[in-house]
Amino acid sequence: MAGASGCGTADAKAAPDISVKSTTGQAPQKPAKPLSKSTPVSLDIPDAKVKADQVLPLGLDSSGQLQVPPASQGNLPGYYTKSVTPGEAGPAIMVAHYDTDKGPALMKNAGDIKIGSKIKVGRQDGTTATFKVRQIQQVGKGGFPTQKVYGKTDRPELRLITCGGPIVKGHRADNIIFYADLVT
Protein backbone atom coordinates (compact mmCIF):
# COMPACT_ATOMS: atom_id res chain seq x y z
CA MET A 1 0.00 0.00 0.00
CA ALA A 2 1.34 3.43 -0.84
CA GLY A 3 0.32 7.07 -0.78
CA ALA A 4 -2.34 8.93 -2.64
CA SER A 5 -1.90 9.30 -6.35
CA GLY A 6 -3.93 11.23 -8.84
CA CYS A 7 -3.54 14.75 -7.43
CA GLY A 8 -2.73 17.65 -9.70
CA THR A 9 -2.92 18.33 -13.37
CA ALA A 10 -0.85 19.85 -16.11
CA ASP A 11 -3.81 22.16 -16.73
CA ALA A 12 -3.49 25.92 -16.16
CA LYS A 13 -6.23 25.64 -13.48
CA ALA A 14 -3.80 23.92 -11.09
CA ALA A 15 -3.12 25.50 -7.72
CA PRO A 16 0.38 26.89 -7.14
CA ASP A 17 3.04 24.31 -6.30
CA ILE A 18 3.09 23.63 -2.57
CA SER A 19 6.01 22.69 -0.40
CA VAL A 20 5.85 22.44 3.38
CA LYS A 21 8.64 22.16 5.90
CA SER A 22 8.71 18.68 7.40
CA THR A 23 8.59 19.19 11.15
CA THR A 24 7.75 17.33 14.35
CA GLY A 25 6.22 18.41 17.66
CA GLN A 26 5.69 16.55 20.92
CA ALA A 27 3.24 13.69 21.32
CA PRO A 28 0.73 14.19 24.15
CA GLN A 29 2.02 13.08 27.54
CA LYS A 30 -1.27 11.33 28.25
CA PRO A 31 -3.10 10.07 25.16
CA ALA A 32 -6.84 10.65 24.95
CA LYS A 33 -9.06 7.69 25.65
CA PRO A 34 -10.00 5.85 22.42
CA LEU A 35 -13.52 6.26 21.08
CA SER A 36 -15.76 3.48 19.86
CA LYS A 37 -16.07 2.68 16.16
CA SER A 38 -18.05 5.29 14.20
CA THR A 39 -17.77 6.21 10.52
CA PRO A 40 -16.51 9.75 9.75
CA VAL A 41 -19.10 12.11 8.26
CA SER A 42 -17.35 15.52 8.21
CA LEU A 43 -13.93 17.18 8.29
CA ASP A 44 -13.11 20.60 9.72
CA ILE A 45 -9.63 22.16 9.85
CA PRO A 46 -10.10 25.77 11.00
CA ASP A 47 -6.48 26.87 10.34
CA ALA A 48 -6.77 25.84 6.68
CA LYS A 49 -10.39 26.92 6.19
CA VAL A 50 -11.34 23.31 5.42
CA LYS A 51 -14.99 22.45 5.97
CA ALA A 52 -16.57 19.38 4.43
CA ASP A 53 -19.93 17.96 5.49
CA GLN A 54 -19.48 14.67 3.69
CA VAL A 55 -16.73 12.03 3.66
CA LEU A 56 -16.33 9.50 0.84
CA PRO A 57 -15.55 5.84 1.62
CA LEU A 58 -12.31 4.74 -0.10
CA GLY A 59 -10.54 1.45 -0.70
CA LEU A 60 -7.56 0.45 -2.81
CA ASP A 61 -7.27 0.90 -6.56
CA SER A 62 -6.30 -1.90 -8.98
CA SER A 63 -2.58 -1.26 -8.35
CA GLY A 64 -2.99 -1.56 -4.57
CA GLN A 65 -2.71 2.17 -3.86
CA LEU A 66 -5.09 4.12 -1.68
CA GLN A 67 -7.94 5.50 -3.78
CA VAL A 68 -8.51 9.23 -3.85
CA PRO A 69 -11.82 11.07 -4.22
CA PRO A 70 -12.78 11.54 -7.88
CA ALA A 71 -11.66 14.89 -9.34
CA SER A 72 -15.33 15.85 -9.69
CA GLN A 73 -15.55 15.64 -5.88
CA GLY A 74 -12.26 17.39 -5.10
CA ASN A 75 -13.86 19.36 -2.29
CA LEU A 76 -14.65 16.21 -0.32
CA PRO A 77 -12.26 14.16 1.80
CA GLY A 78 -12.11 10.39 1.72
CA TYR A 79 -11.71 7.83 4.47
CA TYR A 80 -9.85 4.55 3.98
CA THR A 81 -12.45 2.02 5.14
CA LYS A 82 -9.84 -0.66 5.96
CA SER A 83 -8.31 1.58 8.63
CA VAL A 84 -9.79 2.20 12.07
CA THR A 85 -12.40 4.94 12.28
CA PRO A 86 -11.14 8.33 13.51
CA GLY A 87 -10.92 8.21 17.30
CA GLU A 88 -10.40 4.45 17.63
CA ALA A 89 -6.99 3.16 18.76
CA GLY A 90 -4.70 2.96 15.74
CA PRO A 91 -4.10 5.12 12.68
CA ALA A 92 -7.25 6.35 10.91
CA ILE A 93 -6.44 7.27 7.31
CA MET A 94 -8.07 10.17 5.46
CA VAL A 95 -7.11 11.68 2.12
CA ALA A 96 -8.10 14.86 0.28
CA HIS A 97 -7.01 16.66 -2.88
CA TYR A 98 -4.82 19.75 -2.91
CA ASP A 99 -5.94 20.35 -6.49
CA THR A 100 -7.43 18.48 -9.45
CA ASP A 101 -7.93 19.18 -13.13
CA LYS A 102 -10.87 21.32 -11.97
CA GLY A 103 -8.52 23.67 -10.03
CA PRO A 104 -7.75 24.16 -6.32
CA ALA A 105 -9.51 21.61 -4.09
CA LEU A 106 -10.36 20.98 -0.44
CA MET A 107 -6.75 21.08 0.83
CA LYS A 108 -5.79 24.21 -1.17
CA ASN A 109 -4.68 25.86 2.10
CA ALA A 110 -2.68 22.87 3.36
CA GLY A 111 0.33 25.14 3.86
CA ASP A 112 -1.59 26.88 6.67
CA ILE A 113 -1.68 23.70 8.78
CA LYS A 114 1.03 23.81 11.42
CA ILE A 115 2.17 21.76 14.42
CA GLY A 116 -0.66 22.13 16.95
CA SER A 117 -3.39 22.78 14.36
CA LYS A 118 -6.66 21.03 15.15
CA ILE A 119 -8.38 18.60 12.82
CA LYS A 120 -11.99 17.85 13.74
CA VAL A 121 -13.69 14.76 12.37
CA GLY A 122 -17.45 14.53 12.81
CA ARG A 123 -18.61 10.99 13.37
CA GLN A 124 -21.82 9.17 12.53
CA ASP A 125 -22.60 8.67 16.25
CA GLY A 126 -22.84 12.46 16.69
CA THR A 127 -19.46 12.86 18.42
CA THR A 128 -16.48 14.81 17.12
CA ALA A 129 -12.97 13.39 17.29
CA THR A 130 -10.57 16.32 17.67
CA PHE A 131 -6.95 15.71 16.71
CA LYS A 132 -3.89 17.90 17.14
CA VAL A 133 -1.19 17.87 14.45
CA ARG A 134 2.07 16.48 15.84
CA GLN A 135 4.08 16.00 12.66
CA ILE A 136 4.07 17.23 9.06
CA GLN A 137 6.02 15.33 6.43
CA GLN A 138 6.45 15.97 2.70
CA VAL A 139 7.87 13.03 0.77
CA GLY A 140 8.28 12.03 -2.85
CA LYS A 141 5.66 9.48 -3.84
CA GLY A 142 8.42 6.94 -4.53
CA GLY A 143 9.60 7.25 -0.92
CA PHE A 144 6.20 7.03 0.77
CA PRO A 145 6.61 5.90 4.42
CA THR A 146 4.08 3.07 4.25
CA GLN A 147 4.87 1.49 7.63
CA LYS A 148 4.90 4.86 9.42
CA VAL A 149 1.51 5.83 7.96
CA TYR A 150 -0.35 2.51 8.12
CA GLY A 151 1.56 0.72 10.91
CA LYS A 152 -0.09 -0.22 14.19
CA THR A 153 -0.26 2.33 17.00
CA ASP A 154 -1.61 1.85 20.51
CA ARG A 155 -3.28 5.23 20.72
CA PRO A 156 -5.87 6.99 18.53
CA GLU A 157 -4.13 8.80 15.68
CA LEU A 158 -5.06 10.34 12.35
CA ARG A 159 -3.10 10.43 9.11
CA LEU A 160 -4.38 13.05 6.67
CA ILE A 161 -2.73 12.73 3.26
CA THR A 162 -2.77 15.24 0.42
CA CYS A 163 -0.54 15.93 -2.55
CA GLY A 164 2.16 18.54 -2.89
CA GLY A 165 5.31 19.48 -4.72
CA PRO A 166 5.54 20.29 -8.39
CA ILE A 167 3.45 18.72 -11.14
CA VAL A 168 5.44 16.02 -12.92
CA LYS A 169 3.85 14.13 -15.82
CA GLY A 170 0.42 15.51 -14.94
CA HIS A 171 0.46 14.70 -11.20
CA ARG A 172 1.89 16.18 -8.01
CA ALA A 173 5.27 14.57 -7.29
CA ASP A 174 4.92 14.45 -3.51
CA ASN A 175 2.57 13.53 -0.69
CA ILE A 176 2.10 15.74 2.35
CA ILE A 177 1.17 13.76 5.45
CA PHE A 178 -0.25 15.27 8.61
CA TYR A 179 0.17 13.01 11.65
CA ALA A 180 -2.23 13.94 14.46
CA ASP A 181 -3.14 12.65 17.91
CA LEU A 182 -6.63 12.47 19.41
CA VAL A 183 -7.01 15.14 22.08
CA THR A 184 -10.80 15.05 22.68
pLDDT at 4: 59
HSE-CB at 10 with a 13 A cutoff on CA atoms is: 3
Question: Taking residues 120-129, what's their average pLDDT?
Answer: 98
* Residue type (1 letter), 56: L
Which of these, 175, 173, 161, lies nearest to 43 by C-alpha position?
Answer: 161
Superfamily of domain 23-182: Sortase (2.40.260.10)
pLDDT per position as a tens digit, 54-86: 999 999 999 999 999 999 999 999 999 999 999
pLDDT at 3: 59
Q: pTM here?
A: 0.92
pLDDT per position as a tens digit, 8-26: 555 557 788 888 888 888 8
Question: What is the pLDDT of the chain when averaged over all its residues?
Answer: 92
Residues 133 and 121: their CA atoms lie apart, in Å, by 13
pLDDT band per the 50, 70, 90 thresholds, residue 2: low
Question: Taking residues 94-110, what's their average pLDDT?
Answer: 95
Which of these, 14, 5, 17, 3, lies nearest to 103 by C-alpha position?
Answer: 14
pLDDT at 46: 98
